[in-house]
Structure 1
Amino acid sequence: MMHSPGMTKFLAPLLASFVAIAVPLRAQSPDGPAPEPVRELFTRFCVSCHQGDQAEGGFDVAKLLAKGPPSTNRKAWNRVKENVEGGLMPPEDNPQPTEDQVAALASWVDAELKKIDCGATVDPGRVTIRRLNRAEYNNTIRDLVGVDFQPADDFPSDDVGYGFDNIGDVLSLPPILMEKYLAAAETIAARAIVAAGTSEVPVKTYEGPDLENAGGTAADDDGRFLGTNGEIALAHDFPRDASYVVRVHAYAHQAGDQPARMAIKLDGKTLQSFDVKAVQGSIGTYEFQGKLRGGRRRIAAEFLNDYWEPENPDPSRRDRNLVVQSIEVQGPIGAKGDPLPASHKLVVFRRPSKPEEFYECTTEVLDRFLRRAYRRPVTGGEVSKLVRLADLARENGESYERGIQLAVQAVLASPQFLFRVELYRPKRDKKGKVLEAPGGVPINDFELASRLSYFLWSSMPDDELFRLALDGKLHEEAELEKQARRMIRDPKSRAFVENFAGQWLQLRNLKTANPDREQFKSFDEPLREAMQKESELFFASILREDRSLLDFIDCDYTFLNERLATHYGVPGVKGPEFRRVKLKGGDRGGLITQASVLTVTSNPSRTSPVKRGKWVLEQILGSPPPPPPPDVPVLADDAKGPLVGTLRQRMEQHRSNPSCASCHARLDPPGFGLENYDAVGAWRDKDGGLPIDASAQLPTGESFRGPAELKAILKTRKSEFVRCLGEKMLTYALGRGLEDPDACTVDALVKGVAADDYRLSRMVLEIVKSEPFLKRRG
């Protein structure tokens, strides 16, 4: 059969799975002959183009046969069956199999897949050592030292794999990130612990490379040159509310009858102004001292009085400029009687009252901190190294607290803190030989506590999880379920909403969505924030209120404030506060009608049925389409394009290209059903002055008109949705992509959720009690 290059690319991966039916060439399936209709289908429609060195698309039948039966490649075979049953293979412009042949293929694949013994020993898989991602780092610092700020916001973005940014295989550690870790450790220790005594007051100096991006231009002596009014500005982390000294070392090129003027500013407000009388070769120091709030603040040295007199007979008096050599921040400066912050008391919970108590106190403080930071029991050797570090600080005349600060810095830069490590401890016989463990080995209770807490909280375990792990009770099924339910109810489960739901629903893209403000004048930042808030509150309510996850597809309620209700045309909602709102009719309700999803699946100037259809296929039905071939032309993005009429009419002209038609037969129908929503999710009846046609037919044969009927069809495919959501949540929980052996776990999960009225909480519980979550490959 003949294909265009784009079609060949589309068919090749599907045929690669399809060929195992090729047992016609061998005429045998693993357990016997394939049915005659299946052999005929394969021989007639596929084999002639895909054999030997000249196989189209580089696909060779023999190579596929070597991969084994459908039971060894379950996901691909399911996809083959779906595409053939849905009429997507073979393409429309090629000869088609009969209904009997398609039915024979489907039943044969189903029968082969049912032969998989899910009661047998199953490989639980292996999780790569995982670096804490940015969200996990911030949350762990918050819970470990009690300092609630966001040090990881300055880190490089985390890579994404399988749709999530907590996948061990992609979380690398580039040199720039290691530098950020070292700087963050110093800042965190200074913010968390008060190092008493004047000699220990820390000083941070910004000079040379630190000022390269701070403004101005480079001066001859490594300073920053301001030739006109402007500022040299940078961000600094002030550990807490306290007294600080901000110093600017600067000089000026003098001109006119006044000296240069400079202001030290904080967050745009002037702290103090100075006459800068210093000249090159004699740098002056200008400082402000006073009480400042803690947090990340913007410090600036601003040049106030530029002067330019090119006709002055003295060339040295024609131009007034300012050169900033460096900026220093000294502090926090503790005063007698200042209360210690809660973070200090959390870490330094004991202090020696006499010299002979130093080792006992330091060991106790650092042992507790190290156990919490490493999320496991620690050895005496690990603690003694840190005690020695603190002792070195004491020998150098530093305070006790300064020694603890240095030890904390060392811990926060350690791989044992930065990575989640699960060690393989093999079982051995009496002779020391490693025993095989085909069904995997259980992770220990501390590793399980970390899996639980980073799954549901994106943070370290709390004291209760640590206590249960120490008592060896966390693996008990009743206790495990009890803890999972407790963690779901805890406010810290907000992290699960933000990080899992935010990536599953692609809500993170909403921050960078940029609708055309001329076309969509109602779109502004308060509306963007409201869109995000609606989806997060909606997900959280289904999780914490033990509701059915089918509400994600359709329901009669949502969460609105006045701004979003006005956008939706829902009356009676006043004020900025969000509240649960009962919906009437089927135009709203469920995820696919929420403005957040509709906006991130649109183009800046128009809707995109393709993006919306793809979102439904990937996030609801779990059947993502193949990538588009590279030679497909792009649809014009506005009314000035070569096609006219409604967007649907332009799409239908676009898909008349045979290389587009097969993919768009799957992508377009769900997207057309959502065409009544514009590019920012507001309801509309017309597009380009013409009535919108929101009717379509899915490849599986169901017809619908508008979003309400589309949602009704999607709700009948609840098994597909539960499997899709289960696979994504299991991927997120494990921090790795799913493999063929995980299919049995997903099967059990789908059955368990269905038996418990499709509650979302049941899906969480099924995951935490599953073999892949409780074990690792031996």
Structure 2
Amino acid sequence: ATRTGPYANILQNLGIGMRGSHKHRYQVTDGGMLLDSAVPHREVAPGSWHGPSPNLKMLIRRDFPATGDFVLRVRAASVAKRNEELPASYNKKQRQTLLMGEEVVSSGQGAITVTAAQATDLYLLLLTDGRLVPNNTSKMERSAKFGFDLPARDVYHVDVVTTAKTVMRRIDMNLEVVGTSGRLKHRFRKGPVDRERVEKKALSVESLGILDLPKGQGALQLKWKGGLSVERVVLTPLAKNHAIRRERAEQLTRSKSQATKSDKRQPVLQVSLGNRTDDGQDARRFDSIQPIKTPDGKMANYEFFGRLENLPVPQVDLAELSNLANIMVLTVWNGDFVKDQKQPGSRVLVESMEFEAPYFSRWPPASHTGILFDSPNKGDENVYTREVLQRFLRRAFRRPPRAREVDLYHAFWKSVRGEFKRYEDSVKEVLVAVLCSPKFLFLAESNAEKKTEQQREYELASRLSYFLWNSPPDRRLYDLAASGTLRKSLAGETRRMVGDPRVRRFVESFCDEWLKLYRHKEMQVDVRQFGGFTRFVKEDMARETYGFVQHCLQKDLDLFTLIDSDFVMINQNLAEYYGISGVQGTEFRPVKVTREMGRGGLLTQGSFLSGHSDGRHAHPIKRAVWMMERILGESPPPPPPNVPGLEQKEKDARLTIAQQLVVHRENVSCRNCHQKLDPYGLIFEDYNGAGLLKSNAGKNPDTRAKLPGGTVVDGVTGMKAHILKSQRKGFTRSLVEHLLVYALGRDMSFVDEPAIERIVAAVTRRGGSMRVVMEEIVQSPLFLQEQPVELGKKEDRPDATIGRQER
């Protein structure tokens, strides 16, 4: 029916969907939608994603904004877990009913017979001579119900007694237990008609399979498309020692054990927004995971915030009239992931979903009042605009603006004021010009010879803030710079900023550059080969690396913890992928590991291992280059021009990768490079292309390698020991150099060598903790924009200016 009323157009473009959800993992109730723990979808085709199963979608067609902040509100509660259900049917055909001529003479012990005369709800059937006979010769489906009354729930063989086929075609017979999920199928194969049996109306017995039937009264609905008649249905209990009875008993025991474990599980809500596509949805998660901590059955509201420009919002095509186009999808699921459909996990009840856009926490919004603030001069546009510009320029340029800068933009405003009806629009035009200035876009430095101490302080505040927080200076940094005391307070401010949650921005940005995490994000792992590798495992691998580095930094651990640690930063999802037991929940936390687990430190993290593969197999050369460049601070030899890949003969499946590389090194043009590279890659051969330990891990002779210096190491464990014993300075220097490159926004050169050596020496002298590294860098002449100091000299001299684009 066509909707009417003031919101008819909007309401007809709203909907809900369960696309991609397994039908047994959700349930519609009077109180809302029940969602079991989600099973991640395997994304075989790139871009094809249905979301985890089950998931609840809000569908909005055409009538949605494309820009601005928004909030998705979900009202939900945790509820009692669904017990793992025993199978309702088994496609195991074991005939129990026997015939003697045209008489049923033998059925198993306790058999229950329901004859055609007892059948009800006949459709396109006639009861003739005690048989259900099709009333015509068409191929239309016929059906009848066979009632039963059982003393107890039990498992039964199901036999059907029929006449011979009267048609050559194949006949499919379906049996359903009314009100349950129990179903059986049987196929009468295509073949010639036995005229003699048809004329004699001879009977035969077919086994349909095995059903789990409930206690009391019930009914079986039998459906088939003509071509034969049905005489009776026989239900025979399984023998006491039947294999399926033993299997069900074992499954019940497992189910009780699983229920005990499920009691410790905590349901969580995760959400995504995206565009409906023909093969799924192009969607991305937003905001954080929110655990449901209220008691079972107690509803609560959960809010998820996002920015539409940061998500794959559909591009509306008004010429596309299909009802399945131009649809924005908002999805919610229970993110307490399980690995297969047989595990119910935890359960949530979603009562409602509400989408609000554009969203403002207050009106007028802070973005407005922060610029067009209250002032006694608000009635004088000329004076008030100068006040607005002075405040805005201070924030945009991260320092007090010069009078000529204010005059410049004020003059521009006066020149364009007449082009706008609204005052606010004229101011906006000028502010856009400010944001296009290099003084906003870049961390520009003043002329070194002419800058004042005050300028140095403000520039230092910006440099420090963008280094550690990836954002402009906060009020404290700004005040210290204004008072000229920031430089004297660097150590304390570094500790404060490292302890602040905003340091996560630095960690993620720096790790992406230093450890080349972009390769992990871009790598398409073959999910046919590695079925457990989902987008959630991939995301959690990156979070593992970020969380590990952040933990080492904020807990001020020894910097060599990055190389070898007795803990990993993981959550339940990643722990199950790695095969580490005893971890529950979605939050990341340090988890103790043993050496036998093959984890600990950056070298064994999935983000590096999977990112430096080809998606199916480990890639020792990529891993070797990463190891040399990022960890040891060594420059791998460049390949010669037009260097060939592994020849086909070298890719013999019978050869290990180590043997293939031996063949490859026989090529004269490849020998020198690979003699230096290969050992650093072969040590990782215990790990496959998806970051998992191989089945022969610890027993693979290929991981034993001789390094260029002559040292023999055995696998990653041996390499860690080698670094901790013989390469401590090399790793320290590599870390310092990469931090300096990130902090200064430029490469290091030979003129920076003395300053780098001085930082490395100071870090070693002070014990080599993570915070010490950061403190020494921010107090170094390089970071302070002073002339690098040669070892043994004390004087600092002004250096040339350096500009860096903001991240």
Shorter chain as normaliser: what TM range?
Answer: 0.5 to 0.7
CA distance, structure 2, for counterparts of residue 240 and residue 600 of structure 1: 33
Whether the 8 Å contact between 2:69 and 2:358 is mirrored in structure 1 is no
Q: Within the alignment, does 1:364 sit opposite 2:349 as a pair?
A: no
CA distance, structure 2, for counterparts of residue 239 and residue 405 of structure 1: 19
Q: Within the alignment, does 1:448 sit opposite 2:479 as a pair?
A: no
Change (3 A) 1:490 1:659: same
CA distance, structure 1, for counterparts of residue 511 and residue 358 of structure 2: 43
Q: Letter of the 1:379 partner, please give it.
A: R
Within the candidate set 407, 428, 431, 1:384 is matched to: 407
CA distance, structure 1, for counterparts of residue 359 and residue 70 of structure 2: 11
Give the number of the structure whose residues are more often helix, by fraction.
Answer: 1
Summarize the alignment of residues 117-132 of structure 1 with structure 2, pairs less than 5 Å apart: none
User: 1:267 offset after TM fit, Å?
Assistant: 6.6
Whether the 8 Å contact between 1:233 and 1:301 is mirrored in structure 2 is no
Whether the 8 Å contact between 2:684 and 2:716 is mirrored in structure 1 is yes
User: 1:736 offset after TM fit, Å?
Assistant: 1.4
Q: Letter of the 1:444 partner, please give it.
A: R
CA distance, structure 2, for counterparts of residue 293 and residue 715 of structure 1: 44
User: 1:631 offset after TM fit, Å?
Assistant: 4.4
Question: What is residue 537 of structure 2 aligned with on the other side?
Answer: 527
CA distance, structure 1, for counterparts of residue 447 and residue 608 of structure 2: 42
Question: What is residue 199 of structure 1 aligned with on the other side?
Answer: none
Within the candidate set 685, 707, 716, 1:707 is matched to: 716
Change (3 A) 1:354 1:418: closer
Within the candidate set 603, 607, 612, 1:601 is matched to: 612
Q: Letter of the 2:695 partner, please give it.
A: D
Change (3 A) 1:306 1:447: closer
CA distance, structure 2, for counterparts of residue 660 and residue 397 of structure 1: 68
Change (3 A) 1:709 1:378: same
- Structure 1, residues 129-171: CA drift from partner, whole Å, max 9, x if none? xxxxxxxxxxxxxxxxxxxxxxxxxxxxxxxxxxxxxxxxxxx
Higher deviation after alignment, 665-674 or 691-700:
691-700
Higher deviation after alignment, 675-684 or 519-528:
519-528
Whether the 8 Å contact between 2:508 and 2:546 is mirrored in structure 1 is yes
User: 1:360 offset after TM fit, Å?
Assistant: 3.7
Whether the 8 Å contact between 1:234 and 1:300 is mirrored in structure 2 is no
User: 1:526 offset after TM fit, Å?
Assistant: 0.9
Long gaps (5+) in structure 1: 1-230, 242-265, 270-291, 308-331, 429-439
User: 1:301 offset after TM fit, Å?
Assistant: 3.9
User: 1:663 offset after TM fit, Å?
Assistant: 1.9
- Structure 1, residues 196-250: CA drift from partner, whole Å, max 9, x if none? xxxxxxxxxxxxxxxxxxxxxxxxxxxxxxxxxxx99999423679xxxxxxxxx
Q: Within the alignment, does 1:408 sit opposite 2:394 as a pair?
A: no
User: 1:359 offset after TM fit, Å?
Assistant: 3.6
CA distance, structure 1, for counterparts of residue 583 and residue 378 of structure 2: 64
- Structure 1, residues 689-738: CA drift from partner, whole Å, max 9, x if none? x9553211212222222221221111111111001111111111111111
Whether the 8 Å contact between 2:609 and 2:623 is mirrored in structure 1 is yes
Within the candidate set 455, 472, 482, 1:460 is matched to: 472
Whether the 8 Å contact between 1:442 and 1:775 is mirrored in structure 2 is no
Q: Secondary structure at the match of 1:559?
A: strand
Question: What is residue 238 of structure 1 aligned with on the other side?
Answer: 68
Change (3 A) 1:304 1:657: closer
CA distance, structure 2, for counterparts of residue 234 and residue 739 of structure 1: 52
Relative CO higher for 1 or 2, CA cutoff 8 Å, sep ≥ 6? 1
Question: What is residue 641 of structure 2 aligned with on the other side?
Answer: 630
User: 1:497 offset after TM fit, Å?
Assistant: 0.6
Q: Letter of the 1:378 partner, please give it.
A: P
Q: Letter of the 1:343 partner, please give it.
A: S
Q: Letter of the 2:401 partner, please give it.
A: V
Higher Cα Rg: structure 1 or 2?
2
Within the candidate set 519, 522, 525, 1:515 is matched to: 525
Change (3 A) 1:239 1:531: closer
Question: What is residue 155 of structure 2 aligned with on the other side?
Answer: none
CA distance, structure 2, for counterparts of residue 654 and residue 333 of structure 1: 60
CA distance, structure 2, for counterparts of residue 333 and residue 493 of structure 1: 29
CA distance, structure 1, for counterparts of residue 771 and residue 713 of structure 2: 31
Within the candidate set 567, 570, 576, 1:560 is matched to: 570
Give the number of the structure whose residues are more often strand, by fraction.
Answer: 2
Change (3 A) 1:407 1:741: same
User: 1:558 offset after TM fit, Å?
Assistant: 0.9
Change (3 A) 1:394 1:693: closer
Q: Within the alignment, does 1:588 sit opposite 2:418 as a pair?
A: no
Paired residues in the alignment total 465
CA distance, structure 2, for counterparts of residue 719 and residue 305 of structure 1: 66
Q: What is the TM-score when the length of structure 1 is the normalising length?
A: 0.55
Q: Within the alignment, does 1:300 sit opposite 2:311 as a pair?
A: no
Change (3 A) 1:232 1:520: same
User: 1:294 offset after TM fit, Å?
Assistant: 6.8
Q: Within the alignment, does 1:417 sit opposite 2:440 as a pair?
A: yes
Long gaps (5+) in structure 2: 1-60, 72-272, 277-304, 324-356, 787-798, 801-807
CA distance, structure 2, for counterparts of residue 481 and residue 763 of structure 1: 11
Question: What is residue 668 of structure 2 aligned with on the other side?
Answer: 658
Within the candidate set 445, 449, 460, 1:426 is matched to: 449
Q: Within the alignment, does 1:349 sit opposite 2:373 as a pair?
A: yes
Q: Secondary structure at the match of 1:696?
A: strand
Q: Within the alignment, does 1:729 sit opposite 2:559 as a pair?
A: no
Q: Letter of the 2:372 partner, please give it.
A: V
Question: What is residue 539 of structure 1 aligned with on the other side?
Answer: 549
User: 1:539 offset after TM fit, Å?
Assistant: 0.5
Q: Secondary structure at the match of 2:595?
A: coil
Whether the 8 Å contact between 1:267 and 1:299 is mirrored in structure 2 is no
Whether the 8 Å contact between 2:651 and 2:660 is mirrored in structure 1 is no
CA distance, structure 2, for counterparts of residue 361 and residue 234 of structure 1: 37
Q: What is the TM-score when the length of structure 2 is the normalising length?
A: 0.53
Whether the 8 Å contact between 1:676 and 1:692 is mirrored in structure 2 is no
Q: Letter of the 2:392 partner, please give it.
A: F
Question: What is residue 214 of structure 1 aligned with on the other side?
Answer: none
